[in-house]
Amino acid sequence: MEETAPNGGEHHDHIDLRGSEFRGPVTGKVVINHCHCPVLTALSALPAAPAGFTGRRTELTRLLDVLCPADSRTTPNPAVICAVTGLGGMGKTALALDAAHTACARKWFPGGTLFIDLGGYDDTPVTADQAVTSLLHALGVGHVQLPSDDVDQYALYRSRLANLADQDQPVLLLLDNASTSEQVSPLLPGSDRHRVLITSRERLDSLPARQLALEALSPDNAVSLIATALRLRDPDDDRPSREAGAVRDLAQLCGHLPLGLQIAAALLRRRPNRPIASLVDELRTATDTTRALVSEGVDQYSRSLALAPVFDVSFGRLGADQAGMLRAVALAPSTEISTDAAAAMAGLSPAMALRLLDDLVHAHLITEVEASTGTTERWRIHDLVRGYTATLTADDPALAEEGALARERLLSHYSRLAEAADRQLRFLQGDPVPEVFAGRAAALAWLDAERVNLVAAAQWTDDRYAPAAVRLALSVAEFLRWRRFFDDGIAVGRAARDAAHRLEDPHSEATVCNNLGGALLRAERADEAIEPLTRAAGLFDSIGDRTGEGMAWNNLGLALRRTDQVEEAINNHVRARDRFHTTGDLHLEGRAWHNLGLSLDTAGRTDQAIDAFARACEIHRATGDRVLHGDSLNSLGWALHAAGRAEEAIAAYHDAVKIRQEYDNWYATGQTLNNLALALKTANRPDDAAKARAEAVNASARAGTTAEVYGHLH
């Protein structure tokens, strides 16, 4: 919920604390209720409520729960202090003021309100000593009565607040824009009848305060903020309804950050006859969105409508080590990164990286992501902070080189772990036990957590990163196939193919082409898969890699079958099978037998298909390849069912389900259970068929799909 348009509020007296005299009313940092005598009166020093306030309903409820008087509460031990914290521009002041006005409207603070902008992020912040002088004036202490000693001033201040508490006159003290606990701790009242509301870009963990950290608005609330702002200027402005998609795009470009949205709304108000889409285009083409978000004038609280200066101040307060860590996080492949990956980028130990990351969380420049059990900490950076920081790095040659080294270190880190995880996924009976990960489940958990970053990093194919990016692409191909992230596999494969070609590395290019063809096949784009698979076969042949050539033939056979070139498909699978038999590679020979069975089944040669699937099962059982054994059992069951041998099909399906459940492959499990349900129905076992169908629905739901897939895995 944010203020969305300048709105002239009522006039308030101001006192400038930075001079040697206090002569109000003048413009300054501290807002008070001006009083010329020591008689205590109800104070009302709040600036106007934010205009067009929208969104933040949950946060407002939580804040009001803290401010609620003790005799109206349902929970004991009320918090006297609440700190609203968050990134600069997150709308902390607007939320605090809206809550304060709501509390006053409910008559929770008959003793009045005190508001001070501590200017914690200005060049000369207001000190506690300066603030207490102003607060005493607001509490009715005139110049003559004001003690000259700071200690006496604090004693008198607390005494006045204690008197108000004794008279059942609680006061709300709103300390805005604090940057350190030292600014506010001397100003805290001694009575728990009063309430203190603090806003800060820092977490202020040393204070005994209820913390309310603000995040970006939801997409819907961000859109509502822009629409409300435009309607405040002109109730007939229908651009938000006419350009609903553009408003949503604009909100996203602003990172759903309230200040960014407010600036965008101000820019739109200055252009009442121009479409919202024009501003969207401007921001999309801007080198740095943060610096493009600037408008003339000030908001209703006299603050500049410019986002970059806010980030300038926050970044400028960082130490050298913290700034270096923020630059590293900003250059990560996505907005989220693990502690280990951040440590790798910064060239630090995980323990040192964790300390610096905690510092950045304290400054609200990143946020900690709630981690699932057994995973390391993860951290997220806001899109606008990321763009701002990346621009700082790019504009400085020394920092740009630092960033390039950070990315090289990250690619090395990801490649090493991805290769180890890949070995776990491909682990066969008799192979050396892979190190790094405790088992397949641990490897999959790491790959799942890092998938977005791995896919993005594998597409860093500039010449400097190309060798490591290709290495990473080769390591994640099996995982992306296993988890059915086919679009990711295609994106990674295409980027790696071009990089390997530029590197003049025919073996890597051939392997990448083979993986790319497989991803296209599984994405139901068989016609597109033929070209890279043909290219792979030719490259493997040119370098004398007979095993690789056989693998390409095998996959090419799958593509040809799906483009209705069945006889050519059979020929390719036979060539692959014979090649693997000659080289003695039983694992790949078993796969070729399986694929040959698929083409024979498509050609209507069911008995031959059954023999091929049965032979594949024998080989997989001998080599200990449980995953492919499950695939071949499923296909064998399908062919047996087609041949009218339902009971044999049911037995094969049961065995396939057991294997597929071992490996958390819920898509394949759901497919086999669907096939089993069909076979049970044919065998006139309706109750068992219904049970299998229900289990298929459950397994498919766990895989994020529907239970309508029958037949063979690709």
pLDDT in tens, 473-491: 999 999 999 888 999 999 9
Average pLDDT over residues 376-405: 94
23-27, 275-279, 434-438, 672-676: which range is least confident on average?
A: 23-27
Which one has a higher pLDDT value, 700 or 90?
90
Q: Is 143 exposed, middle or buried (0-12, 13-18, 19+ CB in 10 A)?
A: exposed
Query: How confident is the model over 151-171, as pLDDT tens digits?
Result: 888 999 999 999 998 999 999
The model's pLDDT over 67-124, given as tens digits with 9 standing for 90+, comes to: 988 665 555 556 789 999 999 999 999 999 999 999 999 999 999 999 999 999 998 9
- pLDDT for position 185: 94
Residue 41 pLDDT level (bands cut at 50, 70, 90): very low
Residue-wise pLDDT for 167-216, tens only, equals: 999 999 999 999 999 999 999 998 888 999 999 999 998 999 999 999 99
| Residue 371: predicted pLDDT | 66
Band of pLDDT at residue 712, cut at 50, 70 and 90: low
Output the pLDDT for position 143: 64
* DSSP E strands, 281-400: 294-298, 304-306, 336-338, 366-369, 378-381
Element (H, E) at 84: strand 81-85
Q: Per-domain residue ranges for the chain?
A: 13-213, 219-310, 319-457, 625-714
pLDDT of residue 2: 42
The CATH number of 319-457, from 1.10.10.10, 1.10.8.100, 3.90.1150.10, 3.40.50.300, is 1.10.10.10
Q: Which CATH architecture has domain 625-714?
A: Alpha Horseshoe (1.25)
Is the per-residue pLDDT at 621 higher than 70?
yes
Write out pLDDT tens, residues 496-511. Answer: 999 999 999 999 999 9
pLDDT above 70 coverage of the chain, percent? 89
Q: Are strands 112-117 and 43-44 parallel, antiparallel or unpaired?
A: parallel
What is the rounded distance in angstroms from the CA atom of residue 650 to the CA atom of residue 638?
Answer: 9
- Output the pLDDT for position 700: 85
The three state secondary structure string of 160-202 is HHHHHHHCCCCEEEEEEEECCHHHHHHHCCCCCCCEEEEEECC
At residue 75, the pLDDT reads 52
**Contact, 230 vs 103, CB < 8 A?**
no
CATH assignment of 13-213?
3.40.50.300
Cα–Cα distance, 593 to 597 (Å, whole number): 6
pLDDT higher than threshold 60 for residue 663: yes
Q: What is the mean pLDDT of residues 449-478?
A: 96
Query: Can you give the pLDDT at residue 32?
Result: 38
Mean pLDDT score, 601-629: 93
Q: Could you give the percent of the chain with pLDDT greater than 90?
A: 72
3-state secondary structure of 381: strand
Q: Write out the two tokens for 485.
A: 């992230």
User: Coil, strand or helix: which one is 229?
Assistant: helix
Residue in 139, 116, 303, 123 with CA at minimum distance from that of residue 200:
116
